[in-house]
Structure 1
């Protein structure tokens, strides 16, 4: 005979999210590895994936959080490496801050450049974004080629150092390696993950956590 299923009585999106955070907080009691806004970011990552192992895998550059907050405070451009990540950063969070979220993966010029250069669209999109959009925040959750190119361009001086790189490509071919190169870079403010884990939804939720913090500063709400 199966055990009785006990449901939690919440229906509204905001209430569900708050209850989820309460459950995560209860399952990771203080003292925690992270605190303050760092914990809010990691907690949202756990909320997105239900993966508590992330606590041991997330890495923050010392200036990443404040640099990311400052970029969002000033109405920056955020560029993602997938449409999924772009859609995962909703306008209800970005519009009140005057921020723009773009993805160039389906841009005809990017497609043509990738074909001509025999490379990935993510690689070509990163180059185009750097030259035309000059984003303050790069969100890379899928394409190691984009993250590798970003580090290379910062190193050779063809790209200004971004305010923040959320570098979390997922997979088996150069995903862990590209993140390792990012995390070895002393000048690039990054939030990243050791190993193969990552993904568009995970990378997007980091920006959401930072945006929520700035909205709270301004006394604004992003609830539906």
Structure 2
């Protein structure tokens, strides 16, 4: 069955049908709201490994969607993640989108504290009251993930959800493992080295769709 290449909706519908068929064939099909997240990650990456390496704290998807539905802030570690999130859908729900990594104050704080700018950006977001009851989304920097873990453990920060999916080779797997040991807040992680900005974006956009009751196959 051919799919018309001038019809974005038909392409999207066919893409998700292929994803679900492949997951079924591999014995990796997900159910419930977690399926919406895993399927959108695969749609964004064409990598079926994410069906096995994506892990959720109990109730994490529900917590994230509920927070977005209440119009919570979303804080990202890098602007690449910020750029991919559907800001119009987030704002329609009453939320806001923030990334401080390119802020001059972030660079100053990073130099003064001896930390990375990504970590300093998360610290600035905390100081500005954007972390509690919000989503913290880490798609690039393990140092930023370690910083939100520190804020939860030492400063009693209370985000609604931490999405920890940095990509790479240095402290990446270790930072995500540390997040899974956190019991104070719900989390979503991709185990090991894989992750990255497209994965972080896919997770947030899947949660936004759940919060707004938008079907997965509806094009933006």
TM exceeds 0.5?
yes
Deviation at 1:216, TM superposition (A): 1.4
Distance 2:129 2:8 in 1: 33
Find the aligned partners of 2:165 and 2:174 in 1 and give their Cα distance: 11
Offset of 1:112 from its aligned partner?
0.8
Note if contact 2:44-2:198 (Cα within 8 Å) is conserved in structure 1: yes
Separation in structure 2 between the aligned mates of residue 141 and residue 200 of structure 1, nearest angstrom? 5
- CA distance in structure 1 between the partners assigned to 2:86 and 2:158 by the alignment: 25
Structure 1 residue ranges without an equivalent (≥5): 1-5
**Residue 51 of structure 1 aligns to a residue in which SS?**
coil
Which position in structure 1 is the counterpart of 2:173?
176
Select the residue among 60, 71, 92 that pairs with 1:96. 92
Q: Given the superposition, is the C-alpha separation of residues 146 and 184 from structure 1 closer, same or farther in structure 2, using an over 3 Å criterion?
A: same
Confirm whether residue 212 of structure 1 aligns to residue 213 of structure 2. Answer: no
**2:152, 2:184 within 8 Å by CA — same for their partners in 1?**
no
Stretches of structure 2 lacking an aligned partner (at least 5 in a row): none
Tell me if structure 1 keeps the 8 A contact 2:106–2:117: yes
Which residue of 2 is the match for residue 139 of structure 1? 137
- Aligned residue for 2:13? 18
User: 3-state SS of the aligned residue for 1:52?
Assistant: coil
| Alignment CA distance shift 1:173-1:32 (3 Å) | closer
**Does the Cα contact within 8 Å between 2:4 and 2:10 map onto a contact in 1?**
no
Count of aligned pairs:
216
Q: RMSD in angstroms over aligned alpha carbons?
A: 2.1
Larger radius of gyration: 1
Shift of 1:115: 1.6
Query: Offset of 1:161 from its aligned partner?
Result: 1.8
Deviation of 1:78 after TM superposition, in Å, equals: 0.2
From 29, 44, 47, the counterpart of 1:48: 44
Aligned partners of 1:169 and 1:198 also within 8 Å:
yes
- Say whether the 8 Å CA contact 1:182–1:188 is kept in structure 2: no
8 Å CA contact retained: 1:93, 1:222: no
- Could you say which residue in structure 1 is the equivalent of 2:153? 155
3-state SS of paired residue (2:71): coil
Match of 1:68 among 57, 64, 70: 64
